[in-house]
């Protein structure tokens, strides 16, 4: 008899986006002429930067001729891309990361999902709430979380982000082994200061713990005082792994390219307390289970680091940040407490009422789609996430409609 991994039965149905889609289509059926504006999605809307298109096309051209054709590439990515990432994203900011510590991949979703394979089943986990659901669900699948009771898994330590702590979780009061952090945050848009991030690095060092730092939105940081990488923090090389993605940075959500940075000095322990290199383990995992990102896509990603590419990416992210600034301004004027939207494409709005009811209100009275906070965890109760990924014209229209509805 073929049996299933029963941990899958403990997963909470990811009904969030299905439920949103159902409510939107029910509304559209009843109001066929109402133009819906979607500020709910976490997907970019602008096309790839021209520099990346050019790199992409060059890569495709090379694949078309005998002399330049390439078959399987290195699983960890081509050196030409790893070098550009190391120099531009790390060394230029004083973070001591070398090209061979960078693992190019087809997405941060898969990397943040797969990394937990390297760790024992009975480690103590600290996971944010609200959260990008991948961190939690992949640990449920692996059997690390225990049962689900009253909105929480028994064995998880939840790192709560609430107005009381400025949406930056406090350090755990007891030791944990694996800590997930994401800044600028999805869904709240909150950022973390250098000093606070240092307290997490120190905590990890004291507890022989590991921080998994998701920096998918680092290119939205405009405040120069904020860290763009955990490796800008002293001591992080021994206790952190970082995830980066071209998805939200350069519009690669449909093109697929990301990277995971595992310093060679980053260690974890076996049952007898012996140290092991996580760089070695991740390399072993990737070379067994992954066959690299396509050559043209890596050429497209490389082009993001040309002078034109860099300027175009600032243009892209500035565009969404201008949307975010408008959303912030309008929602604040309407009297809402908000966080995010300054160094992030997301604005987290305290709607001071049931999030799903507020979602329905905005849908039915303004024709605007948002994301209800409870979809990201218990601490999302009473909040909605508004995304800046849309055209400026649509954001203007959506804000005018919300103003009218109120
Ligand atoms: C969008 C996003 C990513 C990026 O995922 P890709 O698989 O690289 O597209 C990673 N983490 C968070 C929190 C995100 O919102």
CATH number, domain containing residue 123? 3.40.640.10
Predicted pLDDT of residue 330: 97
State the average pLDDT over residues 296-318. 98
pLDDT band at 97 (very low <50, low <70, confident <90, very high): very high
Predicted pLDDT of residue 18: 86
Tell me the CA–centroid distance for residue 406 and ligand 1, in Å.
33
What is the rounded average pLDDT for all residues in the chain?
A: 97
Given a cut of 80, is residue 7 above it in pLDDT? Answer: yes
pLDDT tens digits for range 311-352 = 999 999 999 999 999 999 999 999 999 999 999 999 999 999
**CA of residue 325 relative to chain centroid, distance:** 20
Tell me the CA–centroid distance for residue 216 and ligand 1, in Å.
6
pLDDT band at 12 (very low <50, low <70, confident <90, very high): confident
Among 17-21, 174-178, 186-190, 293-297, the range scoring the smallest mean pLDDT is 17-21
Residue reference for tokens 């497209």: 300
pLDDT band at 248 (very low <50, low <70, confident <90, very high): very high
Question: Same domain, yes or no, for 239 and 191?
Answer: yes
Tell me the CA–centroid distance for residue 322 and ligand 1, in Å.
21
Question: Same domain, yes or no, for 26 and 152?
Answer: no
- Give DSSP secondary structure letters for 264-284: TT-EEE-TTS-EEEHHHHHHH
**Parent domain of 25:** 6-47+308-405
Question: If you take atom 14 of ligand 1, which residue's CA is the nearest one?
Answer: 216
Domain boundary among 306, 325, 351: 306
Given a cut of 90, is residue 127 above it in pLDDT? Answer: yes
State the average pLDDT over residues 56-64. 98
The residues near 126 (Cβ < 8 Å, ≥ 6 apart) are 156, 157, 158, 159, 172, 176, 178, 179, 180
Question: Same domain, yes or no, for 155 and 269?
Answer: yes
Q: Which ligand 1 atom is nearest residue 111's CA?
A: 7
Q: Which ligand 1 atom is nearest residue 252's CA?
A: 9
44 vs 15: CA distance, rounded Å: 22
Q: Which ligand 1 atom is nearest residue 257's CA?
A: 8
Question: Same domain, yes or no, for 86 and 209?
Answer: yes
Given a cut of 80, is residue 14 above it in pLDDT? Answer: no
Q: Which ligand 1 atom is nearest residue 109's CA?
A: 7
Predicted pLDDT of residue 174: 95
What is the count of structural domains for the chain? Answer: 2
What are the pocket residues of ligand 1 if the criterion is a CB atom closer than 6 Å to any ligand atom?
42, 107-109, 132, 182, 186, 214, 216, 245, 247-248, 253, 258
Given a cut of 90, is residue 13 above it in pLDDT? Answer: no
Give the rounded percent of residues in the chain with a pLDDT score beyond 90. Answer: 96
Question: Same domain, yes or no, for 35 and 67?
Answer: no
Give the burial string for 174-209 (b: 16+ CB within 10 Å, else e).
eebbbbbbbbbbbbbbbbbeeebbbebbbbbeebeb
Tell me the CA–centroid distance for residue 108 and ligand 1, in Å.
5
Tell me the CA–centroid distance for residue 154 and ligand 1, in Å.
26
pLDDT tens digits for range 199-215 = 999 999 999 999 999 99
Tell me the CA–centroid distance for residue 282 and ligand 1, in Å.
19
| pTM for this predicted structure | 0.97
pLDDT band at 386 (very low <50, low <70, confident <90, very high): very high
């Amino acid at each position: 008899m073929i049996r299933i991994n029963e941990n899958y039965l403990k997963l909470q149905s990811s009904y969030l986006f299905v439920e949103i889609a159902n409510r939107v289509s029910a509304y559209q059926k009843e109001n066929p002429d109402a133009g819906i504006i979607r500020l709910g999605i976490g997907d970019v809307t602008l096309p790839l930067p021209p520099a990346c298109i050019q790199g992409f096309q060059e890569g495709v051209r090379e694949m078309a001729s005998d002399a330049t054709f390439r078959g399987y590439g290195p699983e960890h990515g081509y050196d030409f891309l790893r070098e550009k990432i190391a120099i531009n994203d790390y060394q230029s900011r004083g973070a001591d990361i070398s090209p061979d510590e960078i693992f190019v991949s087809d997405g941060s979703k898969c990397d943040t999902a797969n990394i937990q394979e390297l760790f024992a089943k009975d480690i103590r986990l600290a996971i944010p709430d609200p959260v990008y659901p991948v961190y939690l669900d992949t640990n449920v699948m692996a059997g690390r979380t225990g049962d689900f009771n009253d909105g929480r898994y028994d064995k998880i330590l939840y790192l709560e982000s609430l107005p009381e702590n400025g949406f930056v979780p406090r350090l755990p009061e007891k030791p944990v082994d694996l800590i997930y952090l994401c800044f600028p945050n999805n869904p709240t848009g909150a950022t973390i200061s250098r000093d606070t991030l240092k307290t997490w690095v120190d905590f990890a060092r004291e507890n022989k713990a590991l921080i998994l730092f998701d920096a998918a939105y680092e290119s939205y940081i405009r405040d120069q005082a904020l860290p763009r990488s955990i490796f800008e923090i002293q001591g992080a090389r021994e206790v952190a792994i970082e995830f980066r993605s071209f998805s939200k940075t350069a519009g690669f959500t449909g093109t697929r390219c990301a990277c995971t940075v595992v310093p060679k000095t980053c260690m974890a322990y076996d049952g007898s307390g012996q140290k092991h290199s996580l760089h070695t383990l991740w390399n072993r995992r990737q070379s067994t289970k992954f066959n690299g990102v396509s050559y043209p896509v890596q050429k497209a990603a490389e082009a993001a680091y040309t002078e034109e590419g860099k300027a175009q990416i600032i243009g892209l992210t500035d565009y969404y940040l201008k949307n975010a600034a408008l959303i912030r301004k309008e929602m604040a004027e309407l009297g809402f407490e908000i966080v995010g939207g300054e160094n992030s494409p997301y604005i987290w709005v305290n709607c001071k009422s049931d999030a799903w009811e507020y979602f329905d209100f905005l849908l039915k009275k303004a024709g605007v789609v948002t994301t209800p906070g409870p979809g990201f965890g218990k601490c999302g109760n009473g909040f909605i996430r508004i995304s800046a990924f849309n055209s400026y014209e649509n954001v203007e229209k959506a804000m005018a409609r919300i103003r009218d509805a109120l």
